[in-house]
Amino acid sequence: MMRYIKLVNFEINRFSKIYLSLLLITLVSQFAGVIIVTKSLLKDARDIMKEERLSEAAYITNYGSLDFNHIANTLLFVGPIALSAVALIFYIFLIWYRDWFGKNTFIYRLLMVPTSRLSIYLSKATAIFLMVLGLIAFQIIILPMQNALFNSNVPEALLNEMSISTITIANPILSLIIPSTFTQFLISYGAGLMIMSILFTSIMFERSFRIKGIIMGLLYCGIAAVLFLAPFFVMGFGNFHFYPNELFGLLLAIGIILTGLSVWLGAWLLKNRVTV
């Protein structure tokens, strides 16, 4: 157990520089976005009011009031979220391959560590998952600050104040990363874990059998996708209808089995087949 925690910590520390940069980029870009976009929104509004000689109330009826949605849809706001997502998806692969292709083939030492190979596999998965959640948590912390900043910068007459939960529901990207209910959160990130474990296992295939392994890895991804979507195929071609709760139960069960299978297979490959 202690070894596993040590390994998780080790993986996080290894990524900490890039991770901190991602947090910093998000912080700076999003706050800059709030300030810059608010300014330009207000300027546009004032220009229109001047040109068309509208009062603030008339402007709101014609053009609508200003709300945080205007900010949350800009590149400065969404860009860093997308960047972080891409970086972490990329790191799913890099977390393994850097050990092989890094400066001093680190995987030698890693595989020599007197601990089960499963711990190595799990520690890498945990590190990535924890960092994803960390980014989400960071967004949840800075979002109310950004909202407050926006609300204080826009004159009350033009402002439509939104609560944090309304903002996250209204914006498609925010609603994707911060689901509206805790159950939905568990389901979304559970699905994320499943996909990550399947990718890890595909990487293990590649590391075990090289070129042949790439095909096996892709095949494994395909089989996993077909298995997971099997209930939908049954409904589409088999002319059988599942009730929504049955469908949910099936997907949940298949998801858990697939995740378990992937972890087991990945760890098994790492233990028995991976060559350095």
Partner 1 sequence: MKRYLCSIIIGMVVILSIGTYYVKVASSASSLPKYTFKTLEGSDKELDPVIINASLQNSSNFYEPLTIESNTTTYESERSYLENLTGRQGHEIERLVKEHRSFMRGKDSISSLYEDDDFLAYAWVNSEYTKSGNMEAKFDIGLLEKKDEEETSFQIELPNQGRIMNADVRDVQLVHSKLQVLTMNDVNSNSEQTKEVHLYTIDIANKKVLSDKTLVSESFTYPDQVDFEMPIDVAPSMPNNMVFISLIKGVNHEDGSFEEKLKESKLLSYNYETEKLETVKKESLSLDMARSGYSDGKNLYAVEMKSGKYRIKTFDFSSQTLTNDKELDIAANKEDQYTAAFKNGRVYFLLNRMNQEGKTNKPAKLLIADIKTGKTLYKGETVMNKKNSKIFGLFIDDLEIK
Residues numbered 212-241 forming contacts with partner 1, rule: CB under 8 A? 240-241
Q: ∠141-158-79 over CA atoms, to 5°?
A: 40
Which residue pairs, CB below 8 angstroms and at least 24 apart, start in 203-207? Answer: 203/93, 203/96, 203/97, 204/121, 204/265, 204/266, 204/269, 204/270, 204/273, 204/274, 205/269, 207/96, 207/100, 207/269, 207/270, 207/274, 207/275
35, 153 in Cβ contact below 8 A?
yes
- Binding-site size, partner 1 (CB under 8 A): 40
Contacts of 77 (CB under 8 A, 6+ apart): 29, 30, 33, 34, 37, 71
- Considering the rule CB under 8 A, would residue 67 count as an interface residue with partner 1? yes
Among 86, 90, 165, 176, binds partner 1 (CB under 8 A): 165
How far apart are the C-alpha atoms of 31 and 145, rounded to whole Å? 9
Question: At its nearest, how many Å lie between partner 1 and the CB of residue 157?
Answer: 14
Question: At its nearest, how many Å lie between partner 1 and the CB of residue 218?
Answer: 31
For partner 1, the closer of residues 140 and 191 by Cβ is 140
- Give me the 21-60 binding string for partner 1, x by CB under 8 A, dash otherwise: ----------------------------------------
Question: At its nearest, how many Å lie between partner 1 and the CB of residue 146?
Answer: 15
Among 2, 104, 114, 245, binds partner 1 (CB under 8 A): 245
Binding interface with partner 1 (CB under 8 A)? 5, 8-9, 12-13, 16, 65, 67, 69, 130-131, 133-134, 136-138, 140-141, 160, 162-166, 170, 178, 180-185, 187, 240-245, 248
